[in-house]
Amino acid sequence: MKIKFIAVGGTIDKVYFDKKSEYQVGESVLSDILQEANVNFEHEIETMIQKDSLDMTEEDRRLLFRKISADECQFVIVTHGTDTMIHTAQRLKAVSNKVVVLTGAMQPAKFRSSDAAFNVGTAIAAVQSLPPGVYIAMNGRIFDPDKVEKNREFNWFEDI
């Protein structure tokens, strides 16, 4: 089983620039997370779009849909910003015969207290065990994109 990772940006890949007092989306941290976890499954990482999810457009989502649909890999994990992850997951539901799991982080992966590695690990377990469809893996849970919301007060995803 090969897992394809597609990094499209979001908080998981943000880097803090102290002099500018702002965050910017940087290079994907997936290879570091997978190396630190000592994974032993076949995988490939591709970076595309590299935007904060609030800046993603419908054209970006169409591009992601086309990329996933055309890829030969049946198991896909997308790292994505949490603000519009649900919207993107809903747009990807038309992908057929693949397991697609979107995940991200509430804090940049480079932060010591980040949830990034835990969420990626949850997504890896999910993509290997779920039937074809599109899912969200956040906060140790797997969600249906049509039955989830981001709770900004508690900084987690929850059922609706």
Write down the pTM of the prediction. Answer: 0.89
Per-residue pLDDT of the chain (160 residues; tens, 9 = 90+): 899 999 997 777 666 555 555 555 556 778 888 998 999 999 999 999 888 888 899 999 999 999 999 999 999 999 998 999 999 999 999 999 999 999 998 876 666 668 888 999 999 999 999 999 999 999 999 999 999 999 999 989 999 9
**What is the model's pLDDT at position 16?**
57
**What is the model's pLDDT at position 116?**
86
**What is the model's pLDDT at position 27?**
62
Q: Domain range for residue 45?
A: 2-159
Q: How many distinct structural domains can be found in the chain?
A: 1
**What is the model's pLDDT at position 132?**
98
Q: Is 26 exposed, middle or buried (0-12, 13-18, 19+ CB in 10 A)?
A: middle
Assign residue 37 the CATH number of its domain. 3.40.50.1170
Spatial neighbors of 40 by CB under 8 A, at least 6 apart, are: none
Spatial neighbors of 76 by CB under 8 A, at least 6 apart, are: 3, 4, 5, 6, 68, 98, 99, 100, 101, 127
